[in-house]
Homo-oligomer: A and B are copies of this chain.
Amino acid sequence: MNSLKPFRIDNDFKFFLLDQRLLPYKEVWVLIDNYQEMAAAIKDMIVRGAPAIGIAAAFGYAMGFRDSENSPDGNIYMKDVKKTLAATRPTAVNLFWALERMSTLYSTGTDFKTLWNEAFSIALEDEVACKTMGKFGADHITGTKLRVLTHCNAGALATGGWGTALGVIRELHAQGRLDVVYSDETRPRQQGSRLTAWELKRDGINVEMTTDTMAGHMMKSGLIDCAITGADRIASNGDTANKIGTYQVAVCAHYNKIPFYIAAPVSTIDFSIPDGSFIKIEERDESEVTHINGEIQTAEGVKARNFGFDVTENNLISAIFTEKGTLLPPFNTAILTLR
């Protein structure tokens, strides 16, 4: 079985995204041929997960360069490319980080193949980073027969491969120290039940799903040893934005004295903001809440709120696993060492 990735590249620079909206029911690969299609794919969540969004945007930027060669002013065109890709999702910082890296390379005067290879490097580096942080995480976490809760999907599908939170879990599994992964459903978009459960089952890792209402009860009942999630943006003090519902998991873990961990590459850290209050929380269409798979789940006409992310304050986080090592509180000083 091939190692799972959210994208595939065929000969002649043909780039495909695995349509994560259709998993686990169908595996459909969508050809992405230009930067506009890439922007739409990120916005519509064909691809999601902070590191994977960064990778997709980087390839989109390279595609934009390819098309810019037919335009009268390449610089203006590339500004538009960057702006369009950056405007797709507001919370995950890896998107902006990857676009910065690509546009810095562009500004040195370069060619399409170099930009394409740079995007490919971002993806490869991310996969290597996941494996490294997975080892750091597994080293830090003590015990065997571990029962680990995770929220959303911070797996191979969300990264260049392997996964951040699921990277730690994969390493624990490889070391024979994992009993079971409890995967929160993660409404509204169900990335936990649809993606995490599918991804782990595919790779022979013992996973059970729960609804988002059960984590607290299971912690209190002694069924969970630790919780671990990915991150969409980490502020300089360690405050961490991640998929909506992460905050509740962290509060319940804190209240029940269970470790709560974040796993994320250094590219997720936004050194420009002092704390989580500066992170823009995406609000998405209410139909994601009122509907599941296109079917209404409430009375006709009922309105809904739909926050895409929440911020977990640093005091609720036991450790942050990165590819450069494990960060421990106080996070503001620990994070400064990475700058």
Contact = CB atoms under 8 A, between A and B. Distances in A.
Contact of A213 (B212, B281, B293): B212
Interface string A245-261: 10110011011000000
Interface of A: 24, 182, 185-188, 190, 193-194, 197-198, 201-202, 207-218, 220, 223, 243-245, 247-248, 251-252, 254-255, 281, 289-290, 292-293, 295, 297-307, 310-311
A182 B305 contact: yes
B209 A304 contact: yes
Contact of A302 (B209, B299, B304): B209
Given A209-B290, A297-B190, A247 B216 contact: yes
Contacts of A299: 24, 194, 197-198, 201-202
B213 A187 contact: yes
Given A186-B213, A209-B298, 5 more contacts: A187-B187, A198-B299, A201-B299, A210-B305, A216-B245
A185 B288 CA distance: 12
B292 A292 contact: yes
A191 to B, nearest CB: 11
Contact of A248 (B197, B215, B295): B215
Indicate how many identical chains form the complex.
Answer: 2
A213 B304 CA distance: 13
B214 A244 contact: yes
A218 B305 contact: yes
B209 A310 contact: no
A210 B289 contact: yes
Contacts of A216: 245, 247-248, 251, 310
A289 B217 contact: no
Contacts of A208: 302-305
Given A24-B299, A198-B299, A307 B186 contact: no
